[in-house]
């Protein structure tokens, strides 16, 4: 009818009512209609008949009452929710370089002057200190990040603590139970798991550190691996303060490298390395004069 066409509101299907009364109204519903269906909206008429106050609540945010019937509609609603999350972060003083490419899937507690680049995904409980900078394509889950930390592109951080003034990445992975003290450097293609890294220590390139305690002022050379798994059990590695580990070193846990020790590049360390000494295990270098590289012979 013309009167019905003049109505500018719709029923979204959301209904709130006193539970005890609602049960009675629902029990009294019938399907005496052309479609033979039970209509939830008939509850309203029954409430009015009993003299119960009925009030409509309108909203100017259409996305809050949108129905979700397929994956596309779910994705649209998710983007609406994420836009509200981004807006809240912006209002709180967080700089988002592109609010449309930011996902917050938990709770964020951010300090002052935090900058987050595109495609960052924050999950669970995330705390970012003052002046934290997060690069593009970073995933952070249940982590605490101290003041003045820089996290470069393509890092994955989960259940970890990062001390103030540290620098992470690019392409670094911090796995659960990792704790970094202040001013640590964790570089590209480094994975750290269930380990503590002391203040000012550096693991800058292509290393795996697992089940390890690293002291202060330690330098871990490129390609260093803590061999923590013997096929059945995990074992710990302990590295003291001011240790220098040369590149391409394997530390066979359980093992301890004591304070001030130096490990020569290419070593496989199977027993404890003493303090303030050079330890290395390396096959002697040999040169064979006149040696010729094998040459492929023509076929046929």
pLDDT in tens, 207-258: 999 999 999 999 999 999 999 999 999 999 999 999 999 999 999 999 999 9
What residues pair up with 180 in beta bridges, in sequence order?
Answer: 162, 197
Q: What is the dihedral of CA 72, 76, 82, 83, to 10 degrees?
A: 160
Q: Note the pLDDT of residue 217.
A: 99
Q: Is 257 helix (H, G, I), strand (E, B) or coil?
A: strand
Instruction: State pTM to two decimals.
Output: 0.84
How do the domains of the chain map onto residue ranges? Answer: 12-57, 124-279
Confidence category of residue 1, pLDDT binned at 50, 70, 90: confident
CATH superfamily of 124-279: Hexapeptide repeat proteins (2.160.10.10)
What amino acid positions are annotated as catalytic residues?
Answer: 205
- Over residues 279-296, mean pLDDT: 91
- Tell me the C-alpha distance between 216 and 181, whole Å: 9
For residue 142, the surrounding DSSP H or E stretch is strand 139-145
Q: Note the pLDDT of residue 10.
A: 82
Q: What is the dihedral of CA 153, 156, 157, 163, to 10 degrees?
A: -30
Q: Note the pLDDT of residue 187.
A: 98
Distances in Å between the alpha carbon of 250 and those of 110, 175, 266, 267?
39, 20, 8, 6
> In 3D, which of 90, 88, 122 has the Cα closest to residue 103?
122
Least confident span in 43-52, 78-87, 167-176: 43-52
């Amino acid at each position: 009818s013309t009167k019905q066409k003049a109505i500018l509101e719709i029923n979204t299907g959301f209904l709130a009512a006193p539970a005890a009364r609602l049960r009675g109204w629902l029990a009294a519903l019938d399907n005496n209609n052309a479609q033979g269906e039970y209509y939830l909206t008939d509850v309203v008429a029954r409430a009015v008949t009993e003299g119960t106050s009925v009030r409509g609540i309108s909203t100017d945010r259409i996305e809050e009452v949108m129905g979700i019937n397929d994956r596309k509609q779910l994705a649209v609603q998710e983007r609406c929710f994420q836009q509200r999350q981004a807006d809240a972060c912006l209002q709180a003083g967080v700089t988002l370089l592109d609010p449309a490419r930011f996902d917050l899937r938990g709770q964020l507690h951010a300090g002052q002057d935090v900058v987050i680049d595109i495609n960052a995904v924050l999950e669970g409980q995330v705390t970012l200190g003052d002046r934290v900078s997060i690069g593009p394509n970073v995933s952070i889950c249940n982590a605490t990040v101290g003041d003045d930390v820089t996290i470069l592109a393509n890092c994955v951080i989960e259940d970890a603590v990062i001390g103030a003034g540290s620098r992470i990445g690019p392409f670094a992975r911090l796995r659960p139970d990792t704790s970094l003290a202040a001013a640590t450097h964790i570089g590209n293609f480094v994975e750290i798991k269930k380990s503590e890294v002391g203040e000012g220590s550096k693991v800058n390139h292509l290393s795996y550190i697992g089940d390890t305690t690293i002291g202060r002022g330690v330098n871990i050379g490129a390609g260093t691996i803590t061999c923590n798994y013997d096929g059945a059990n995990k074992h710990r590695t302990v590295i003291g303060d001011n240790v220098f580990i040369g590149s391409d070193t394997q530390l066979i846990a359980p093992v301890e490298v004591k304070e001030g020790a130096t490990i020569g590049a290419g070593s496989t360390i199977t027993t404890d390395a003493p303090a303030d000494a050079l330890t290395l295990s390396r096959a002697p270098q040999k040169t064979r004069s006149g040696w010729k590289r094998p040459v492929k012979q023509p076929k046929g």
